[in-house]
C-alpha cells in the first residue's frame, strides 16, 4: 500500500510540473541604489560585451543594454512555481581592486566561488570558508565577475 501511495504522489508531482517553464529572475543593483529586474526564460540569455550587460529575456533578440560601470551587483533567482532561490546573505569583496588575493565578507560559513572573465569564461571555481583568501595573482589584469552562491559582484585585478 505504501509503495502505491509513493508512486501516486510521484505521478501527481510529475503531472503538476509538466510543461512548467523555469524562469530566472535577474536583479541588477546599481551603484545609485536603484534596482532593475528581468525575467529571463529558457530561451533568453544574459551576456557581456566590452561596456554593457546585455539581457534578452525571451530569445526574441529584443535586448536591453545596461552599462557595466553602473552595476554594483547581479543577483539570480530561479523561479519554477515550486521553489524560489534567493541569495542567503549580503556580500562584499575586498580589497577591490586586488593584486594577490581577495576575501569575501558574507554571513555564510561556507560558500561556492566562481570567477568569470568579461568573455564569460570561468577562470576559477572553488568552495571557500568564511575568512579564506582567494588567490588571484595568476589572473591577467582586468575586470572580473565574482559569483558567490547566487550573487554576482565585480572586482578589478591590478
| 134: its cell numbers | 582567494
Residue where the block lists cell 530561451: 43
Cα gap 24→40, rounded to integer Å? 5
On the question of pLDDT at 73 being above 60, the answer is yes
Q: State the chain's mean pLDDT as an integer.
A: 76
pLDDT grade, residue 81 (50/70/90)?
very low
Taking the C-alpha atoms of residue 135 and residue 37, their distance in angstroms, rounded to an integer, is 32
How much is the average pLDDT of 119-129?
A: 88
pLDDT at 23: 64
Which one has a higher pLDDT value, 49 or 4?
A: 49
HSE at residue 72, side-chain half, CA atoms within 13 A, is 12
Q: How confident is the model over 45-58, as pLDDT tens digits?
A: 777 787 888 888 87
Cβ-Cβ contacts under 8 Å for 155 (sequence gap 6 or more): 93, 96, 97, 98, 102, 143, 144, 146
Residue 51 · residue 63 · CB < 8 Å: no
Could you give the domains of the chain?
1-86 (2.30.30), 87-158 (2.60.40)
pLDDT confidence tier of residue 153, bands split at 50, 70 and 90: confident
Amino acid at each position: 500500500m505504501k509503495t502505491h501511495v509513493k508512486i501516486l504522489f510521484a505521478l501527481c508531482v510529475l503531472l503538476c510540473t509538466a510543461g512548467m517553464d523555469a524562469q530566472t529572475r535577474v536583479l541588477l543593483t546599481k551603484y545609485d541604489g536603484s534596482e532593475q529586474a528581468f525575467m529571463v526564460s529558457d530561451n533568453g540569455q544574459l551576456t557581456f560585451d566590452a561596456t554593457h550587460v546585455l539581457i534578452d529575456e525571451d530569445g526574441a533578440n529584443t535586448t536591453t543594454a545596461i552599462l557595466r560601470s553602473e552595476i554594483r551587483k547581479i543577483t539570480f533567482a530561479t523561479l519554477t512555481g515550486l521553489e524560489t532561490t534567493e541569495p542567503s546573505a549580503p556580500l562584499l569583496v575586498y580589497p577591490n581592486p586586488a593584486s594577490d588575493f581577495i576575501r569575501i565578507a558574507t554571513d555564510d560559513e561556507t560558500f561556492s566561488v566562481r570567477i568569470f572573465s568579461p568573455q564569460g569564461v570561468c577562470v576559477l571555481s572553488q568552495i571557500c570558508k568564511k575568512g579564506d583568501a582567494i588567490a588571484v595573482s595568476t589572473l591577467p589584469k582586468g575586470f572580473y565577475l565574482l559569483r558567490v552562491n547566487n550573487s554576482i559582484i565585480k572586482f578589478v585585478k591590478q
